[in-house]
Amino acid sequence: MKAVPSRNVQQMPPYLFSNLNRKKETLKRQGVDMIDLGIGDPDLPTPPFIIDQLIKELNHPDNFKYSTFNGCPEFRHAVSEFYLKHFHVKIDKDKEVQTLIGSKEGIAHLVQAMIDPDDIVLIPDPSYPVYKMAVHLAGGKAYPVRLDPDNDFKPDLESIPHEILQKAKLAFLNYPSNPTGATVNIDFFEKAVAFFKKHGIYIAHDSAYNLVTFGNYQAPSILQVDGAKDIAVEFGSLSKAFNMTGWRIGYLVGNEEMIKTLLTVKSNLDSCQFLPIQKAAAIALKSDLSFLKERNAVYERRGQVMRQALRNIGIETNPLKGSIFLWAKVPGSMTSGAFCERLLEEAGVVVTPGTAFGKNGEGYFRVSLSVPDKRLEEAAKRIKQFL
């Protein structure tokens, strides 16, 4: 019998770049030496002190039982301590923190917990595709909010039509941003909180890159804004912060009601993360964060090399302040898709077309800095020859 997918699954927006993927597969089979700058997954290892803690925790049989649904106290306490130390924000570890099996899981389930069919959710365009897909699967309507290149890829909130604001229930934000690498200061969050509060719209801020920042820049938390907890939650993740993508550990903090709503869904669908992983992640958040300095210096150096190489051939990119990506302008009049296909075919370099992140990504491509320095330098050379 043929399994018939649900209507929402059948009607999922198609992945636009199957062509590009097919080409990638063909070239791989032919043994072409491809450099993949499309990857959003750190190439550097998890720091040893976290792995050592995991091994210790694995020797306690009590850790093999189910976790409580909202996460173990050690991890929730570590998140709350991290917010106090790093952002000077008080978080109640019992009511305002939820352990997640990676923030992607939490994003999808929060949408399911809050959104009814035809509810509108405001989604930055371009952005991490999971927001839009989660809204679609929940039967909601994703309304793209254009990120303005002339305003450091911040949204022009005042330009959202009134009838959309009236119907919208939830808005996603993400800084430091994937894919644009844009960052904000606290004044942007102050404006956003005031604006969405006025319109009765909840905020979900995705801070996956909050600890991947360069130079003197420190990413603020939206919860630093007075009264933010009335309407906002913030997603955090160990994935990019501590090179732990495969571990699947993240958290949601902020508005108590939203956290409770998420727990209602999660306690019926999953049983939280393996305790040794939560406890090792707790040690990471409780650490002095000195690990970040050297790790972030690696991304910064790679970013500078790639930025300069692109600038030398007339391609401008975002300033280097946070995230693991450069957001670069497609040269000439090619579309993002065509440029990326040609770069792959003629130079063996994989980058992600901006339109993979929304229609406002047209005219851009995304370069990942999570590849070893030597390969990045080689890629820069090939891009130069290609042009």
Positions in the binding site for ligand PLP (CB under 6 A): 40, 102-104, 128, 174, 178, 206, 208, 237, 239-240, 245, 250
Nearer to ligand PLP, 238 or 383 (CB): 238
Distances (CA, A) of 12 to 3, 6, 9, 126: 16, 10, 5, 18
The residue assigned the tokens 């590849």 is 371
Nearer to ligand PLP, 124 or 348 (CB): 124
Residue 66 phi, psi dihedral angles, 5° rounding: -60, 145
For the bound state, the minimum distance from the C-beta of residue 32 to ligand PLP, rounded and expressed in Å, comes to: 27
For the bound state, the minimum distance from the C-beta of residue 333 to ligand PLP, rounded and expressed in Å, comes to: 29
Nearer to ligand PLP, 213 or 237 (CB): 237
Centre a 10 Å sphere on the Cβ of residue 11 and count the other Cβ atoms it contains.
Answer: 11
Nearer to ligand PLP, 221 or 239 (CB): 239
Nearer to ligand PLP, 76 or 104 (CB): 104
Q: In angstroms, how far is the first alpha carbon of the chain from the final one?
A: 52
For the bound state, the minimum distance from the C-beta of residue 159 to ligand PLP, rounded and expressed in Å, comes to: 23
Contacting residues for 30 by C-beta, under 8 A, at least 6 apart: none
For the bound state, the minimum distance from the C-beta of residue 83 to ligand PLP, rounded and expressed in Å, comes to: 17
Chain-centroid distance of CA 211 in Å reads 12
Question: Interhelix angle for 48-58 vs 275-286, to 10°?
Answer: 140
The amino acid that residue 82 corresponds to is F
Nearer to ligand PLP, 208 or 211 (CB): 208
Distances (CA, A) of 236 to 97, 122, 157, 335, 352: 11, 20, 24, 34, 24
For the bound state, the minimum distance from the C-beta of residue 263 to ligand PLP, rounded and expressed in Å, comes to: 18
For the bound state, the minimum distance from the C-beta of residue 206 to ligand PLP, rounded and expressed in Å, comes to: 5
For the bound state, the minimum distance from the C-beta of residue 380 to ligand PLP, rounded and expressed in Å, comes to: 23
Structure tokens at 254: 């902020």
The residue assigned the tokens 């209507």 is 7
The residue assigned the tokens 């200061």 is 185
How far apart are the C-alpha atoms of 93 and 285, rounded to whole Å?
14
Nearer to ligand PLP, 110 or 208 (CB): 208
| DSSP bridge partners of 42 | none
